[in-house]
Structure 1
């Protein structure tokens, strides 16, 4: 993201509401601010963490100091500003920013010494949302009333608490939300302010939590239910109702009213909780950018591109971290641990290697059809595709051996969308499709196929030979934009040149953003020198969003420990276990055995 937006600053946020729920983390903030040694340990760890991962600052979200219902202690009020002063000094020395999150209600804001804290933060983030919700039910100071969770009139009252403490407005950032709070009305005929609710609203399909709906869910429900929508301009909020469901939320219109208010009060800016609550096409982020006259770097969710295995250029080894695929076609080659490599088109000076990206499962690959030099017309096992070919060591120069790989791993999926057509009478197949009817797009033609073949010469209408060579068809399934080969182009000037080669030598390499699928060694411009070849280089597209593997070190450690334990411990047979249970003298012992 920083490459797209050089001005972007990324802070790490620590804390949150559930962090102070009963449990192992409930008193961590109170413990840290009460001990100088704990503070030093925390600050040292924090600075190391931010340096390691490139964070620009910290937003500390303690919910809430001193509050007894949030595991707070009385000493927090005095200790927190002292801790923040030490933290600010360290952050300034490291060139890092520091902010804290403040509540909008006096109930919790009273526990923050905001005057002293103002000296130790770059700005305050005010949580001017979640002002109301299902938690209001039967509470003395709120009651079970239909109240919007974000309300400009109440926000103004909250900010007044800061102005009374002489906080500079430029140091205050007002919070906005990309979600709404939903309630179930006590009486579906009474949906106005002052009416009551019975419980939280129904859960959404994404949040799976009652009482809250993301903006993306609200948009879908509005489209589905065609509800009545009330616009409360003074409060800068909208309310949608259908059946007994009631939901308060913001859209572009109310967001503008809130931002206009922030500007009228000279606030330092606005923030949003949270960008993950937006629609897939970043509708609300785009709305904010328009209101604020801010440029954007593109709002759509990017897909994860799966890198594909590829041939290197001649004389080049695999890129750092990539793996040269071993040969698995049997015999002595396996014992010698041979790798997949090919000399075709390299001019007798080196070879290219077939390499797969790091961290991916390797395909099964090999060379097939050599038969001690008595090569055939080239073929791969039924579960493999041809990724290359060679006739260099074949006795009959129209025959060749095939380099073949399976396509059942991510790094080979794209190759499985294409196949080579008829050979050696290559023009007998006038067009695609070939054997696979789905592969009906003619991506390219090559007189030497993937590199080692040699199609028949051209013939005229009388069947007589003509100058030139037929073209073998490369046919692909291009129907899926997220899984296909496309934009195939011929290159003859990429890669190293053998020592002493003439100016007409064709370098059979590909640019780094393309994979090589064929080498044409028969084109006149290249064959004049008797060496080299043009490379057919294509772009690949294989993207997904759901099946992204994430490294889990704890899970890997657990698996390793379990495997180690299993090797050292004999597992009793079921019959042995039954004998043990049958011979147990007491029911307690039998239960223990079970």
Structure 2
């Protein structure tokens, strides 16, 4: 049956004027008392009934519990009341209790603000949980946050050290995430990232931080320490504001103290002053509860002028905790409810709080219950416990939006809309119930916020959204942020002084300091605009500095648009088939402007090639002698032209080119949004051209998006005030295939093993940059220029340095390349099996200059591996602050844009050959002699042509070990090291780290060649060190990677043990093949670690000299060079303990 509940914010309400045992229904309460039976609330009158005020509590009228006082004074006098008025200006009933319903207020009403329009759209805050990446599934890395739906991100949480009052991370892993989140601002103009300090658990009883907020608010010395630490923290990690989440002051059950009520506003005032000191202008917000019980302890009237806004947690109104609440009990109610939210908002209106300061809380999760009676599924029905935990959230009574979405998609669930509460509920699996918001109910709540003039909305949490960002996408469409790409790269132009014309955003806005250029004069004048990449009905203005703007006109008359050519004294700015408002049936129009300094860059370039036949085949049109430099190509030219049916149009410029740092934007997300491209260029860049197909993948762009060719905004005078850039990328791609992975994203490339053809030797003094490969003879190579499509154009070529690629020319090598491609990407094998030994063939070097080879198996590319659940290992580089660029922390999560990835064999394919070569040479990797019988054994019996590793299991007289597949031990080994059916040894790793790992694994004494390292910039040298010191070591020691290492090691050991048991094998006397393998691996990985430590020690000594020099100070400032020097010295001091490979898998 349903349980009738009278909802209000005040569980202090007592029916009429009597004492109540609230654990029972009011209709059954015993209100009587006596001199020996005192009241639980109230005084016992002479009529043996409980009540308050002088009629019951005066000495002449009271028989017991006579010291009770009412909450407020309805007119009795202060001696009978705890307070004269109610907190938060709520009503005092005639019985002395505080509340907001008619039982307390009678006919009095609250004046509510009323608006139309979209007041809440200006501020949309998403909280990001720092622990979200640790979930078993549906974790969200910072790079996967759908930032386009938000104006602000709040990182949750940081703590406060209870002793020093310094800002402290909630978890050590947060230190590697802060910068990753704030770095999202670089590609999302206008986004702010704040740090949220506190959270529910910080005030939990028993925690060392339980009373930290109270102690901080009550001590000026503690505040001074906190402010100093906070400002340094904000500067270091580039946060824009701070959100104080104190849950909750005063309340004793939340570790609060009575003094908190007065201390909190004072603390906030001091904090606001500190955040505005020393030239800073950091923002400040606080979170507020939705319940009166806790909100009464916040002096919101005093706080309002101090904070920028209040974040009101209008969610978690109900949950499993209701079962112990004497006024609600174990009955299901939605965790968010517009009726109760409206009651919360009344608390603000009663105190004349500006609605612009109020941010409405929304939830991207639900509270779930297990129903007592499966036939009773509506609000008020009983529950027996929290709902079953989700596979990812793993918490009874809570489900993330991603889990709720999966439940509905699985079928069989019943979804119901509660229009009054503006919430939906789901019933499934007979007795499971959850409440949640979707696009429909979010729309209701946002409409409520707009109707009452609220200043914004906030979400707990952006990181509990589904993988395809369903809720965030709905939110984005509701809050007016459609102009931004959901996964980043918004088009809002940077607001800085301009000396060059640029395209504005889709809302008809121009950057500060510029105005729209006019076409025509007088009454016929209009703003020059194009519609490219904008939603229907919107356009971009061509914006120029007002002091010297050109005059423009559209050339080419609709509908045929013949001769859309600019005059000699004009430059072509854009092409569009609808320019000026009348569309072309054929051809296009050109926006032609007079040549000025502001559009000079455009005048130095032009598009060549005429549609529909722009060039032959897949080539591009030629450049004229006046503009000989080919820059890029496009099917659409500048963007609005007729499309090429064959070939490409060419963008040709003078020499030197006027544009710098140009690149085509890519799809928003190759998996989650494959047909959503960009809506503009990143901050600081301008649109030079656009295409309605993704330039790299050639896939179509939908949803009012396009692929843009973006270049740095042209300046007449080079800026002189830019801070030094500490994050210049090093050329880490020194072992890199130039061939695209056809199974993956266009940025994915084939993993190429540079060293499979080498005989393993220690010490390995070779040059890792060497092109020495028998497969690719140096005589068959020549440098080639990059053609259309760039680095990953799929041509058979190898690249060993930046812009130094070598094409394979001879027919044999080309066949080998095709075989390599087939082997790696599950392609059809070349019919000529004689080529097989050259396809991924680690070499075994036998005596008398004879060789043998292992042969690798087909394995999945990046995309199919990702589809099986593998996440992406990579790094995130920080901004231009030295303190942030002195590390390259490893991250595991979603794909990062513009990063090349490979399918990485963790236990390298050449390792069995390294073992074979080590045993054949009688030496371990360290140079020590192979132990005992291994040194005297003829290992050609195992690894030679027809050796035991290459005999069938039948020939060996034994069965294949359980869990393995393959006709021979070698087949079984390489099947286990990476195939479509066995991916335990496969991970997805960014290509630069993978390339360095290859050199480390080969135990090169010169992991990075001296020539290459010396040629790098100082910042690039630091990146080399960081990628080896931090990224690679963290990768090798990470849990999933250690599992891969275990898999590779144990597979080989199992095979060696099988050979030990074979009756047809001449085994090692008084030893075993398995023990020889274990001895080799222990020595190999220890030698690899020691070699890496030695290499880093030498390079650290080298770079420390520079960063301590006056040259570094001149180039990077004293503070910047000192910060870098300090970080490098710390790495040097801790090298032996930090650069350690976990070898626990060797057993």
**Common fold: TM-score over 0.5:** yes
Query: Which residue of structure 1 aligns with residue 418 of structure 2?
Result: 232
Question: What's the offset of the Cα at 1:266?
Answer: 0.1
Instruction: Give SS of 1:226's match.
Output: coil
Please give the alpha-carbon distance, in whole angstroms, between the structure 2 residues aligned to 1:261 and 1:36.
Answer: 41
SS state of the match for residue 404, structure 2? Answer: helix
Match of 1:253 among 421, 426, 440: 440
Alpha-carbon contact 1:237-1:248 (below 8 Å) kept: yes
Q: Partner of 2:818 in structure 1?
A: 432
| RMSD after superposition | 4.6
Aligned equivalents of 1:101 and 1:33: distance in 2? 16
Q: 2:861 matched to 1:480?
A: yes
Equivalents in 1 of 2:390, 2:781: separation in Å? 63
Write out per-residue CA displacement over residues 280-333 of structure 1, whole angstroms, 9 at most, x where no aligned residue. Answer: 111111101111121332347789x99963279xxxxxxxxxxxx99x979999
Cα distance in 1, alignment partners of residues 333 and 375 from structure 2: 16
User: Residues 234 and 543 from structure 1, CA distance in 2 versus in 1: closer, same or farther, beyond 3 angstroms?
Assistant: farther
| 1:72 equivalent in alignment to 2:256 | yes
**Secondary structure, counterpart of 1:187 in structure 2:** coil
Q: Give me the whole-angstrom Cα distance separating, in 1, the residues matched to 2:256 and 2:810.
A: 82
**Structure 1 residues 87 and 548, CA, compared in 2 at 3 Å: closer, same or farther?**
farther
Which deviations, in whole Å up to 9, do the C-alpha atoms of 1:67-106 show, x marking residues without a partner? 1011111111111110100001111231100000000001
SS of 1:235's equivalent in the other structure is: coil
2:202 paired residue among 19, 22, 30: 19
User: How far apart, CA to CA, are the structure 2 residues paired with 1:557 and 1:233?
Assistant: 64
Corresponding residue to 1:29 among 199, 213, 227: 213
Query: Which shifted more, 129-138 or 223-232?
Result: 223-232
Aligned: 1:379 with 2:774 = yes
The match for 1:272 is: 459
Distance, in Å, in 2 between the alignment partners of 1:105 and 1:234 is: 20
Deviations 1:525-575 (A, max 9, x none): xxxxxxxxxxxxxxx98599xx995899999999966999xxxxxxxxxxx
Q: 1:3 aligns with which of 161, 173, 186?
A: 186
Q: 2 CA distance for matches of 1:248 and 1:332?
A: 64
Alignment partner, residue 284 of structure 1: 471
**Cα distance in 1 for residues equivalent to 2:350 and 2:400:** 34
- In 2, Cα distance between equivalents of 1:514 and 1:230: 45
SS in 2 for 1:162: helix
Equivalent position of 1:124 in the other structure: 310
Residues 319 and 335 in structure 2, CA contact (< 8 A), matched pair in contact too: yes
**How do 1:61-460 residues align onto structure 2 when only pairs under 5 Å count?**
61-93=245-277, 94-242=280-428, 243-294=430-481, 295-299=483-487, 309-310=733-734, 339-340=767-768, 354=769, 379=774, 390=778, 426=812, 429=815, 432-433=818-819, 437-438=823-824
Aligned to 2:793: none
Distance 1:127 1:307, change over 3 A: farther
* Cα pair distance change 1:218/1:548, threshold 3 Å: farther
Alpha-carbon distance in 1 for matches of 2:209, 2:298: 20
Other-structure match for 1:53: 237
**Is the CA contact (8 Å cut-off) linking 1:422 and 1:429 kept in structure 2?**
no
Assess if the C-alpha contact under 8 Å between 1:181 and 1:248 holds in 2.
yes
> Once the 2 structures are TM-superposed, how far is the Cα of residue 421 of structure 1 from its aligned partner?
12
Map of 1:493 onto structure 2: none
Aligned position for 2:32:
none
For 1:219 and 1:306, the matched residues in 2 are separated by 42
d(CA) in 1 for partners of 2:1135 and 2:813? 55
Is the 8 Å Cα contact of residues 899 and 990 (structure 2) preserved in structure 1? Answer: no
Give 1:483 deviation, angstroms. 9.3
| CA contact 1:432–1:439 (8 Å) conserved in 2 | no
C-alpha distance in 1 between matches for 2:466 and 2:372: 31
TM-superposed deviation, 1:164: 1.1
Distance 1:112 1:435, change over 3 A: closer
- Tell me the distance in 2 between the aligned counterparts of 1:195 and 1:202: 18
Q: How many residue pairs were aligned?
A: 402
- Distance, in Å, in 1 between the alignment partners of 2:216 and 2:344 is 28
Deviation at 1:114, TM superposition (A): 0.7
Q: CA 1:557–1:239 in structure 2 vs 1: closer, same or farther (change >3 Å)?
A: farther
Q: Distance in 1 between matches of 2:326 and 2:261?
A: 26
Paired with 2:826 and 2:393, the residues of 1 have a C-alpha distance of 43
Distance 1:130 1:399, change over 3 A: closer
Q: How does 1:541-560 map to 2 (within 5 A)?
A: 549=1034
Q: Distance in 2 between matches of 1:216 and 1:195?
A: 26
Structure with bigger strand share is: 1
Partner of 1:395: none
Pairwise CA distance, 1:426: 3.0
Go from structure 1 to structure 2 and tell me whether the alpha carbon gap of 1:91 and 1:435 turns closer, same or farther (over 3 Å shift).
closer
Residues 245, 439 of structure 1: alpha-carbon distance in 2 compared, 3 angstrom cutoff: closer
Question: Secondary structure at the residue paired with 2:457?
Answer: strand
Unaligned runs of 5+ in 1: 313-324, 341-353, 355-365, 369-377, 381-385, 392-397, 401-413, 443-475, 485-511, 516-539, 565-594
Secondary structure of 2:192's counterpart equals: coil
Stretch deviating more after TM superposition (134-143 or 33-42)? 134-143
- Aligned to 1:58, what secondary structure does the other structure show? strand
The DSSP-based 3-state class of the residue aligned with 2:285 is strand
Q: Does structure 2 retain, via aligned residues, the 8 Å contact 1:286–1:296?
A: no
